[in-house]
Amino acid sequence: MSNIIELKRGLNIPITGSAVQKAKKVIIPDVVAAKPVDFRGLIPRLLVKEGDTVLAGSPVFADKVSPDILFTSPVSGTVTEIVRGEKRKLLEIRIKADKDQKYEDFGTEKVASLDEAGIKAKLMKSGLWPALVQRPYGIVARPTDTPKAIFISAFSTAPLAACPEYALRDEFENIQTGVNVLQKLTKGGVHMSFNSDNYSGTPFHKLENITPHIFGGKHPAGNVGVQISHISPIAKGDVVWTVSLLMTAAIGKLFNTGKYDVSRLVAVTGPKAIEPSYVKGIAGMSMKDIAEYYDNSGNDIRFISGDVLTGSNIGKDGFLGFFDNQVTLIKEGNEHELFGWAKPFRTSQFSTSHTYFSWLTPKKKYEMDTNLHGGPRAFVMSDVYSKVLPMDIYPVYLIKACMTGDIDKMEKFGIYEVLEEDLALCEYVCPSKIEIQSILSDGINLMMKEMA
């Protein structure tokens, strides 16, 4: 067993609604969506029009900058709607799914017989190249770059996250193939991180061709960005790629079966979920497909693709994101609480400090909602961020540099090492109610524009 990297800073959010490990439904989707907005920095070029028929794996849009990178349909069916936003920004390609699914055949091949160029070509043609996320900036990996290493987190500490040992319980062989594929794309090896609480209990520690690392501690110990900062920090000029365990399995399925298959077990979670559990779904599935898991008669549910800290608010008519295998249903906190700050005996509220008495009941779970309990305030210097961020950076200085657009200081204070998910807890505990993830996102976008 490797040495354990024990993280002493972090916070586990005690929210109700964790999914029991039982798959209660197999979703046969009616309409699914391919969403260019799932990919940072992408300028999409539409390849289909309404009325076109597609197979699972047929290209529906491409990257204008790198036309060989294709984004393909998760299902076979008919393109029913092209959804655009402001300035005709391409938001969704909606596809009505066939009852009997048909797939593009990309062919099964022995990974050992393929070189790096052959693997890249197959991933780009199939639509699975976008599963590789490049840091800095969290963009789709550039095929022309060579990463110093590839990193995979084999566990998640995010609130109510899907359990990988359950959600991927039948995917060991595919994940092994995926690892073998990724190993050919870098000379720095494939680094996989495990949870110290479950290292011997997870089957994934038996994977070959990986460099294992073991982490202990609270969230965000499961974030791959936090893990990278302790294994091999990203400096200016460095390029690393990250892949989720879920997408590693999809890559393995491509080479083992010749199919673009992004089906997955999805955890339906959150305080507003009825009998939280798992469903067999697919990337791009509609929230309408899980209607029996919620009661939105009061129109008071926020539908989140992902977890409560970093997921996307997709609305009741939205669709699951490309990278997600979790849906969180949480109440919209629209109520105004008079003198709430002056009520220390609120037993239904969780506090990260000793403001309320939640610290006396550390095992209690709370039915949290989206209420901010106040508006934005002066951005004061504080140590609250450092208490939940186990990285060697200065988050307050970094965020202020992003707010002012000071590129030199953004570089100095760690912009290359972080994405929004890494500072999500800082936003959660922020006494000033600052939208840290949004500010960091603007800073990253500025870096991409100015440093290109």
Domain boundaries, given as residue ranges, for the chain: 4-257, 263-338, 372-450
Rounded mean pLDDT of 95-120? 94
Predicted pLDDT of residue 382: 80
d(CA 61, CA 45): 5
Q: What is the pLDDT of residues 383-440, one digit of tens each?
A: 899 999 999 999 999 999 999 999 999 999 999 999 999 999 999 999 889 999 999 9
Judge whether residue 334 has pLDDT over 90.
no
- DSSP character at residue 103: B
Q: H or E stretch including 240?
A: strand 240-242
Predicted pLDDT of residue 102: 97
Q: What is the pTM of this model?
A: 0.95
Predicted pLDDT of residue 56: 97
Tell me which CATH code domain 263-338 carries.
Answer: 3.10.20
Judge whether residue 30 has pLDDT over 70.
yes
Q: What is the pLDDT of residues 236-255, one digit of tens each?
A: 999 999 999 999 999 999 99
pLDDT bracket for residue 304 (50, 70, 90):
very high
Rounded mean pLDDT of 440-451? 94
pLDDT bracket for residue 351 (50, 70, 90):
confident
Instruction: Supply 395's token pair.
Output: 């988050």
CA torsion through residues 37, 40, 41, 46, sign = negative
φ, ψ (nearest 5 deg) of residue 292: -75, -5
Kindly calculate the radius of gyration of the chain based on its CA atoms and give it in whole angstroms. Answer: 22
Rounded mean pLDDT of 269-275? 97
